[in-house]
């Protein structure tokens, strides 16, 4: 799919995580991305510099103080030829900048993809991924989440919205407005919990002996044998009955690395649990 967005111009004001993730995906599809940052920079650059550099690779990064008239005018010049404006500001901030109805400005073909935390009466309520996950059942307190689920899902929704906006503009000749709500993304992520698929005592939460995490002689393994064919192969390999204690005793006899190799050899979804992964694949 490389370069399917060749000729599409994206101006992104979005800092932190969902916006830069979405902008990077659009750039990978061939769009030209201009990233506008405040003079203080994007906080992501300080928190995770290597990731920031990867996400902004190939993009033009411009520092503008949008409260200053000269810099605000410079943004207007960038928007004159933009197909997509990507933002992650509170709606009140966009209103002050005159950007909330950006598609009604001098560039009627420009669409606006607006990433917000909340919608409706709570659109000004502050929040971040941790808050959205806390509200919708994807946290196990007191542990901090390892993956920013709402941010990741929100970024994908922003990409979908941008692609939809491009199609609409191609058909109608006019831009459109799309609001991506991170709390909605967290709510949808929590559907597995609400519907009893994940969580304590659920099929994917420990109730199945052949779907879980087991200690080994060195490290842990994740066994994902849901389907009967994989369950049968696993029980045959371990020479045990379908019982958690039996599986636990069997897994304790070899290292995680050894079990992972056996999983490959016997076509079983069995993976050593790693606390870190390579930065490149």
Per-residue pLDDT of the chain (281 residues; tens, 9 = 90+): 578 999 999 999 999 999 999 999 999 999 999 999 999 999 999 999 999 999 999 999 999 999 999 999 999 999 999 999 999 999 999 999 988 776 667 789 999 999 999 999 999 999 999 999 999 999 989 999 999 999 999 999 999 999 999 999 999 999 999 999 999 999 999 999 999 999 889 999 989 999 999 999 999 999 999 999 999 999 999 999 999 999 999 999 999 999 999 999 999 999 999 987 666 55
Cα 94 to chain centroid distance, Å, stands at 23
Residues paired with residue 87 on neighbouring β-strands, in sequence order: 114
DSSP letter for each residue of 189-206: HTHHHHTTSSSTTSIIII
Question: 266: how many CB neighbours lie within 10 A of its CB?
Answer: 13
Query: Cβ distance 189 to 149 under 8 Å?
Result: yes
- DSSP state, residue 144: P
Domains by residue range for the chain, with CATH: 9-192 (3.40.50.10540), 208-272 (3.30.1540.10)
Question: 141: how many CB neighbours lie within 10 A of its CB?
Answer: 6
Tokens of 113: 């993809």
At 281 the pLDDT is 56
At 279 the pLDDT is 60
Name the pTM for this structure: 0.91
Place of tokens 């101006």: 11
At 188 the pLDDT is 97
Query: Cβ distance 23 to 47 under 8 Å?
Result: no
Closest by CA to 187, choosing from 158, 150, 147, is: 150
Place of tokens 């902008």: 23
């Amino acid at each position: 799919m490389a370069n399917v967005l060749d000729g599409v111009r994206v101006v992104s004001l979005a800092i932190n995580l969902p916006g830069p993730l979405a902008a990077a995906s659009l750039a990978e599809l061939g769009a030209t991305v201009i990233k506008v940052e405040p003079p203080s920079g994007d906080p992501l650059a300080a928190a995770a510099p290597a990731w920031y550099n990867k996400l902004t690779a190939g993009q033009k990064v411009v520092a503008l103080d949008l409260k200053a008239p000269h810099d605000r005018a410079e943004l207007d010049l960038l928007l004159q030829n933009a197909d997509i404006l990507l933002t992650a500001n509170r709606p009140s901030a966009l209103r002050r900048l005159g950007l909330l109805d950006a598609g009604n400005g001098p560039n009627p073909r420009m669409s606006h993809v607006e990433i917000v935390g909340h919608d409706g009466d709570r659109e000004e309520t502050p929040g971040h991924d941790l808050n959205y996950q806390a509200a919708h059942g994807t946290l196990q307190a007191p542990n901090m989440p390892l993956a920013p689920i709402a941010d990741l899902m929100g970024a994908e929704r922003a990409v979908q919205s941008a692609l939809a906006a491009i199609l609409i503009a191609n058909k109608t000749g006019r831009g459109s407005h799309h609001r991506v709500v991170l709390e909605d993304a967290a709510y949808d992520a929590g559907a597995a919990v609400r519907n009893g698929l994940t969580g304590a005592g659920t099929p994917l939460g420990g109730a199945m002996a052949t779907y879980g995490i087991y200690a080994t002689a060195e490290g842990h393994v994740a066994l994902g044998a849901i389907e009967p064919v994989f369950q049968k192969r696993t029980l045959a390999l371990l020479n045990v009955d379908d019982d958690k204690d039996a599986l636990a005793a069997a897994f304790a006899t070899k290292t995680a690395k050894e079990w992972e190799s056996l999983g490959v050899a016997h076509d079983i979804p069995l993976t050593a649990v790693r606390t870190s992964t390579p930065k490149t694949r």
